[in-house]
Amino acid sequence: VDRETGTVQYFELVKVAMRDEAGHCTGLLGIARDITARKRVEAELIAARDAADAGNRAKADFLANMSHEIRTPMNAVIGMSDLLLQTPLTAQQQEFAEIIRTSGETLLALINGILDFSRIESGHLELECLPMDLVQCLEGALDVNCGGARDKGLDLLYWIDDAVPRTILGDATRLRQIFVNLISNAVKYSREDTTVTITMRREGDEVVIVCADQGIGISEDDQAQLFTEFFRSADPLARIQPGTGLGLAIVGRIVERHHGSIRVESTLGVGSTFTVRLPAA
């Protein structure tokens, strides 16, 4: 403690024994360095880190609560408009109820996308690492997209090589999301009466998943930004479709968290091919 000011000062002491030629200790040499400023900065950094940790925890809790609070009434809106559509309605009432249902679904998809994305970004998405069935995952995602494909007269084809391991280690829900997002994009941006093909093969210690469409294609400039959040192409043909620009950003993050990679090849007006590589073990 500084006697004059009463403040606490910190010193770092280094002591060295001084010896004569015979090696006997003749005294001590001490060097004291004032490290008060360093200590103060350290304390400030620790306080800032603790405050940031508390802030992140509060944000994660808020997100978890909000996601539940928002989804519950949205599901009621969609469920009730579904029920309403099964009752006798005039043509105009039918039209209004259908708009409520589609808008509800779009809003729910947007909310889910934003919540998922922010959870992944803030590092609060806990991924499971359990044996999961890739084929089941793909077939589940195809089921979800059957309706959309039928409406556009598309064929959904898939082919799985025998060498693909039936199970890999990963998070089934999130990996299914990769398939769902890629296939729904392929369906959404396909030209009518074409084919979407999904193949899975093994290459060394990787599973390679390829999703190819005969759609509107993606320009080279756009390809470079595809996995950025909220990116949507300015191409009028793409703009006709509803979207949030979060689907591929989420896919990119999930692939990354599974230590895999994703890339796209595309030619405008011809089609797009997305290739995902995941560790097979």
Binding residue for ligand ADP (CB under 6 A) from 168, 186, 254, 276?
Answer: 186
What torsion, rounded to 10 degrees, do the Cα atoms 111, 141, 195, 228 define? 40
CB of 212 to ligand ADP, least distance (A): 9
Per CB under 6 A, the list member of 189, 208, 214, 255 interacting with ligand ADP is 189
b/e burial code for range 30-67 (CB count within 10 A of at least 16 → b): eeeeeeeeeeeeeeeeeeeeeeeeeeeeeeeeebeeeb
Nearer to ligand ADP, 97 or 145 (CB): 145
Look at residues 140, 259, 142, 266 and name the one whose alpha carbon lies nearest to residue 207: 259
Identity of the residue, 145 or 181, whose beta carbon is nearer to ligand ADP in the bound complex: 181
Residue 272, interface with ligand ADP (CB under 6 A)? yes
* CA neighbor of 208 nearest in space, from 133, 135, 142, 278: 278
Q: Which is nearer to ligand ADP, 252 or 260 (CB)?
A: 252
Enumerate the β-bridge partners of residue 265.
273
Residues 6+ positions from 216 with CB-CB distance below 8 Å: 189, 191, 235, 237, 238, 268, 269
Where is 179: in which H helix or E strand? helix 172-188
192-251 residues in contact with ligand ADP (CB under 6 A) are 213, 215-216, 218, 226, 231-233, 238, 243-249
Our CB check for ligand ADP shows the closer of 97 and 249 to be 249
Q: Does 185 contact ligand ADP by CB under 6 A? A: yes
Is the separation of the CB atoms in 168 and 281 below 8 Å?
Answer: yes
Q: Are 279 and 258 in contact (CB under 8 A)?
A: yes
CB of 147 to ligand ADP, least distance (A): 17
Q: Is 152 in the site for ligand ADP (CB under 6 A)?
A: no
Q: Is 187 in the site for ligand ADP (CB under 6 A)?
A: no
How many chain residues bind ligand ADP (CB under 6 A)? 21
With a CB cutoff of 8 Å and minimum separation 6, the contacts of 237 are 189, 216
Task: Between 97 and 179, name the residue whose CB sits nearer to ligand ADP.
Answer: 179
Residue nearest ligand ADP, CB atom distance = 243
Q: x/- site string to ligand ADP, residues 248 to 267, per CB under 6 A?
A: xx------------------
Tell me whether residue 60 or residue 144 sits nearer to ligand ADP (CB atom): 144
Where along the sequence are the contacts to ligand ADP (CB under 6 A)?
Answer: 181, 185-186, 189, 213, 215-216, 218, 226, 231-233, 238, 243-249, 272
